[in-house]
Structure 1
Amino acid sequence: MIRLIDPADDDAMRQVFDVGVAAKSVARPWFTPPSYKSWLIGMRQPDPEERQELYGFFRDGACVGTSLLFVPTQDNLEKVYADIDVAPEHRRRGVGAALVRHAKARVGELGRSALFVETFAPGEGADDHEYARFARSQGFLPAWREPTRHLELPVPAEKLADLAAASNARRDGYRIETYVGRVPDELLAGLAELMRMLAVDAPSGDVDFEPEEVTPDRLRRIYAREAEQGRIRLSSLAIDETSGAVAAQTDLVFDDTMDPVVQEGTYVHREHRGHRLGTAVKVANLQRLQRDYPGRPFIRTMNADTNEHMVSINVELGFEIVETSTEWIFASSTG
């Protein structure tokens, strides 16, 4: 039986978390889940710009599969994103197929036309992986792929210094500023505008995206939620010294433990490209991370191979491919 789960239901939420950890750990030795407390805070405080619907597949009273739907409310209103997990010991028993059918039906009820799901396969062999075969059997087509790369820490200080010097030579008229926890209010509007455009410029195959609804208020909510979760965000920005505009940004996010670090979006404004600002902000963030938060094992990032400039920066830093993410799309005829 599939039912909607109330995030206030402590017992159900614990089962959902455990299913997700077990499912996402299969053949992924580097996978490190968030703490249950951090995950629960995130689930109970979603952004209103992207409503969440959490469903569980229950068998004999136990949750054996989950489907978390992300439903944009302000932009890209034809799309729904799903995160579907099945406990390893309950796979190949129809649970995943039932959750997919349910998600498709829900997309139709919402009047949407596209359902997206993401799968991960070790290395670069995504085409023949069992997840790919399952996705195709359910009517999904690959929309785009993004290799996942890890950067083992620490990066030699000399290497970072050399990269910083090389980028300095190309960025006259810009200064780099790094912040811990939150970016000052006076920079939030410019930062929000960059993050709005990230979804538009990020390689996404033949799928078009509208600018995401990112506002200063949304960023403030994210910062407050992360502080409650015990998460730390390092943000490095390139500031145009003439106009004061935010020209580039990058973020590293991690828990207050020795767990891996997640590289979130890096983006350079279209009008400010060609000055190695992407390298400059990433190196500044890495230097701050290693100086103030040493001991993390690695940084995790994802970039489509067609994003040649960002991939080249990551390869120069030393990132190496560990797995490949495939974004699958199911086009609904009812949307």
Structure 2
Amino acid sequence: MKIIKLSPDDEVGCAEAVAVDSAGWKLDCPEFVQHTPRTFANMLRYGWDLEPPQAYLASEGDTAVGVLTVDLPQYENTDHAWLDVKVHPDHRGRGIGSALIEYGEQVTRDLGRTITGFGGLDLPKAEAFARRHGYIQKSVEVNRRQDLAGLDWGLVQRMYDESLTAASAYELLRLTGPLPEDLLEGMVAVTESINDAPRDDLDLEDDVYSPERLRAYEEAQAKSDRTVYRVVARRKDTGDLAGHTVVAVERERPYLGEQHDTAVSRDHRGHRLGALLKSAMLLWLREQEPALTQIDTWNAESNDHMIGINKALNYHIVARILDYQKTL
């Protein structure tokens, strides 16, 4: 078996990686949103906020059999690496996954990092794979999807109206594209509020934000051909930013949306701002993105508050992902 590092400019290699990845998801979780060659290449160019992962393609002769991605945080958790291994279903059970995860661990060591982690579907074979390689389960993430075609828009409007009454001291800002300069510093503090979300037993430092990182996120999303919609809550009397919600819509597949963040600063909780922001976003997207049919979100299974809002807004479970970690 040959393992080569992929370049985002390698169109054939990226297409082969996506074919391996998609074949696995179609068998294990057909509902899961899969990469296209274009979105995969953009991930390798730009990542989430200009800290792109590395990717490796495993082949036997002319046949691609597996894919490894190695995500290397740059802003915090700089001793970590997050691995993702996919093996084509036709080639499973032959040790290819084990070879790839060991390769990823060696990449981690070579970079001077000491902690690896990965997420696997809540399936017996994934749990057995983790145990075999010395990984310990630390958290459960849930991928939920909102079906906009079946959404009760009357409920959304009622949620918005009732939340607006409870949050009468606040106003909402609708923003697309780069944040205005006068909001940038305030948005750093709001974005950092995501650190209050549950992490269960994961060994992780708090996310660290700065104006430069927010700009890097905006640049990465724009260059990846996504339109970012942001609704921000601002206190009327002081001008303090209190919370936000962010949804990105793909331009290649404009029926797909992804919830990137919803957070309310600690000092502004208790005014139903989370429900207000989520419902306001939906009403805005109905106007702006008529082709949009679904929005995916990710939450720790223990995040009862946000999950309660999502259930009311017609989200259903697509996948449960078990997060594992290991100290090398």
- Structure 1 and Structure 2 fold alike (TM over 0.5): yes
Q: Once the 2 structures are TM-superposed, how far is the Cα of residue 287 of structure 1 from its aligned partner?
A: 0.6
> For the residues of structure 2 that align with 1:197 and 1:209, how far apart are their CA atoms?
15
Aligned residue in 1 for 2:227: 232
Distance change in 2, residues 1:22/1:46 (3 Å)? same
Aligned residue in 2 for 1:11: 12
Q: Please tell me the residue identity of whatever aligns with 1:103.
A: G
Distance change in 2, residues 1:111/1:48 (3 Å)? farther
1:316 and 2:317 correspond: no
Aligned residue in 1 for 2:248: 253
Distance change in 2, residues 1:49/1:76 (3 Å)? farther
Aligned residue in 2 for 1:41: 42
Aligned-pair identity (%):
26
Unpaired stretches in structure 1, ≥5 consecutive residues: 121-125
TM-score normalised over the length of structure 1: 0.88
Say which of 111, 136, 148 aligns to 1:153: 148
Distance change in 2, residues 1:261/1:148 (3 Å)? same
Distance change in 2, residues 1:88/1:286 (3 Å)? same
The number of aligned residues is: 325
Aligned residue in 1 for 2:166: 170
Say which of 171, 175, 181 aligns to 2:177: 181
1:328 and 2:324 correspond: yes
> For the residues of structure 1 that align with 2:26 and 2:177, how far apart are their CA atoms?
29
1:223 and 2:225 correspond: no
> For the residues of structure 2 that align with 1:316 and 1:10, how far apart are their CA atoms?
42
> For the residues of structure 2 that align with 1:58 and 1:260, how far apart are their CA atoms?
31
1:254-307, Cα deviation, whole Å (9 max, x unpaired): 212343321122111111111111111111111111122124332211222321
Q: Please tell me the residue identity of whatever aligns with 2:125.
A: E
Aligned residue in 1 for 2:93: 92
Aligned residue in 2 for 1:109: 110
Q: Once the 2 structures are TM-superposed, how far is the Cα of residue 318 of structure 1 from its aligned partner?
A: 2.2
Corresponding residue SS for 1:286: helix
Q: Please tell me the residue identity of whatever aligns with 2:112.
A: G
1:243 and 2:238 correspond: yes
- 1:195-210 to 2 correspondences below 5 Å: 195-198=191-194, 200-210=195-205
> For the residues of structure 1 that align with 2:193 and 2:206, how far apart are their CA atoms?
5
Q: Please tell me the residue identity of whatever aligns with 1:111.
A: G
Of 162-171 and 107-116, more deviation after overlay is shown by 107-116
Distance change in 2, residues 1:321/1:12 (3 Å)? closer
Of 75-84 and 271-280, more deviation after overlay is shown by 75-84
> For the residues of structure 1 that align with 2:146 and 2:321, how far apart are their CA atoms?
17
Q: Please tell me the residue identity of whatever aligns with 2:153.
A: A
Unpaired stretches in structure 2, ≥5 consecutive residues: none
Q: Once the 2 structures are TM-superposed, how far is the Cα of residue 36 of structure 1 from its aligned partner?
A: 2.4
